[in-house]
Structure 1
Amino acid sequence: MWPVHGIHLRTADLDLRVMTESELGVLAAALPDDVELNPHATRYAGLDDRANRRAVLAQGYWRALGLWSTDDWALPFVVRSRGELVGVQWLEGPDWRADRTVDSSSWLVTSARGRGLGKQMRAAVLALAFGPLGAEAAVSSAVVDNASSLGVSRALGYRDTHRSVLEHSGETLQHVRLDRAMWVGSGQAHGVVVDGVAPALPLFGVEAVA
């Protein structure tokens, strides 16, 4: 087993485990029509929106594991609530060795929205990042009219930093940042259980504490 597959995160209502290839079909079927997998994602001519999202989902998983390095990694979690699939949460370290900064993105099935689960799943991966992985900061971004994503970020203590414009769509992205001191001081890691990380630490370039 790839060591990262042993990582297990839990909150009051959620169970997060690293995605496996066998789950791709179920996840593709669960993708909501309005999901934002990645504002920068590839668009394939000839594919409708839903088929394109499914292609991006599968490629994202294969790329994450196939191109993993201690400098640049991406970790996709399947999120369940009481055994029911509710979404996917990504945690990424695109320039990890240099800046110890993580990025994140996520989606929830329509029926799971409005229940505070988005905040819990983000808090879970932040507890992993700022805890055993030793992150110094977390960033995120969303189109300016994605109030739910930006609301989760601000509720967890992220601060607005700047905006940018996507070339292919003209949409405006709001970028946000959360520093380690703000996270630690917020106490929002309480109630998050992080298990199974020790065997995977070398893959993040982190030494295990004896």
Structure 2
Amino acid sequence: MPHTDALARLWPASAVRVRAGDLELRWIDDDILVELAQLAGRGIHDPSAMPFEHPWSRGTADEVARSVLTYQWDHRSRVSPDAFTLELAVVHRGVPVGIQGLTAKDWPVLRRVTTGSWVGRQHQGRGIGTGMRMLALHLAFAGLGAEEADSGAFVDNEASNAVSRRVGYAHDGAFRVAREGVPVAHNRFVMSRERWESLRTAHAERLGAPVELAGVEAFRAQLESATAESTEPNSLQT
């Protein structure tokens, strides 16, 4: 059995793909991860700004790259009924340009995912951020059966806020978050399943191609299997 097939069987997340035209979300193997780490090291945002709650994007190119490596290595194994993290490379015309993540807590009960992402500065301003968010929502709702998705951004992160508005999220208020020792308002945006269904056709038109899912059924089955196992009595308990 080829290495990739064996990995997909043992760890279904490695086979997850979401694609529309020349834009794709896919598993981050180590080869792609190195490219993405180096991309982040070349810059994600203006040095005077900070779009992230944790300032991992500050430092030398190597320091930022190492932050990407350690974060991704740490989160690869986080798939359980309690909480799962699915980090996917954003590939545009065959070139890795950023990362799109989906996280969930209490998935069997809430069926809610939170999205987070970044795009290398040299690839910004091309509509990639909007497209990758649409693909992430399609994965969440059509692929995984989510009932709600949320996202957020600091009020001064106009690019991210604009993507959420453009995709069709409903604004759900703002709350203060500590950022580099200062409280800053952070917007929250919500997308319900019903709202996504009403926007699904518009999203497809904007993407310019049908959305294709691959490897998602096995990943969803892993989540459902983990959920079932977590509710069974443990014969070793007394």
TM-score, length-scaled by structure 2: 0.77
C-alpha displacement at 1:33, in angstroms? 4.2
Structure 2: unaligned runs, 5 residues or longer? 1-6, 205-209, 227-238
Aligned to 1:198: 217
How many residues were matched structurally? 205
- Partner of 1:106, secondary structure, is strand
> Among residues 171, 174, 193, which one is paired with 1:163 in the alignment?
174
**CA distance in 2: counterparts of 1:18 and 1:38, whole angstroms:** 24
Structure 1: unaligned runs, 5 residues or longer? none
Q: Which moved more, 1:110-119 or 1:61-70?
A: 61-70
Paired letter, 2:184: E
Q: Which moved more, 1:47-56 or 1:89-98?
A: 47-56
Paired letter, 2:118: W
Paired letter, 2:220: L
1:181 aligns with 2:194: yes
User: Retained in 2: the 8 A contact 1:74–1:94?
Assistant: no
User: Retained in 1: the 8 A contact 2:167–2:203?
Assistant: no
Identity %: 28
C-alpha displacement at 1:206, in angstroms? 7.0
Structure 1 outlier segments of 4+, above 6 Å: 35-38
Aligned to 1:6: 15
Paired letter, 1:169: V
Aligned to 1:120: 131
User: Retained in 1: the 8 A contact 2:44–2:121?
Assistant: no
**CA distance in 1: counterparts of 2:71 and 2:166, whole angstroms:** 27
**CA distance in 2: counterparts of 1:67 and 1:81, whole angstroms:** 26
C-alpha displacement at 1:198, in angstroms? 1.7
Pick closer, same or farther for the CA change 1:176–1:52 going to 2, 3 Å.
Answer: farther
**CA distance in 1: counterparts of 2:108 and 2:74, whole angstroms:** 19
C-alpha displacement at 1:171, in angstroms? 2.1
Q: What is the CA RMSD across the aligned residues, in angstroms? A: 2.6
CA offsets per residue over residues 39-93 of structure 1, 9 Å max, x none?
34376xxx83655543442232123223321221111111111111211111111
**CA distance in 1: counterparts of 2:128 and 2:168, whole angstroms:** 16
Pick closer, same or farther for the CA change 1:175–1:79 going to 2, 3 Å.
Answer: same
User: Retained in 2: the 8 A contact 1:133–1:206?
Assistant: no
> Among residues 6, 17, 38, which one is paired with 2:26 in the alignment?
17
User: Retained in 2: the 8 A contact 1:74–1:91?
Assistant: yes
Aligned to 1:81: 92
- Partner of 1:105, secondary structure, is strand
Aligned to 1:172: 185
C-alpha displacement at 1:13, in angstroms? 2.7
- Partner of 1:66, secondary structure, is coil
Pick closer, same or farther for the CA change 1:119–1:33 going to 2, 3 Å.
Answer: closer
Q: Summarize the alignment of residues 20-35 of structure 1 with structure 2, pairs less than 5 Å apart.
A: 20-31=29-40, 32-34=43-45
User: Retained in 2: the 8 A contact 1:37–1:53?
Assistant: no
CA offsets per residue over residues 155-184 of structure 1, 9 Å max, x none?
111111121222243222111101100000
TM-score, length-scaled by structure 1: 0.86
- Partner of 1:171, secondary structure, is strand
User: Retained in 2: the 8 A contact 1:30–1:109?
Assistant: yes
Pick closer, same or farther for the CA change 1:117–1:42 going to 2, 3 Å.
Answer: closer
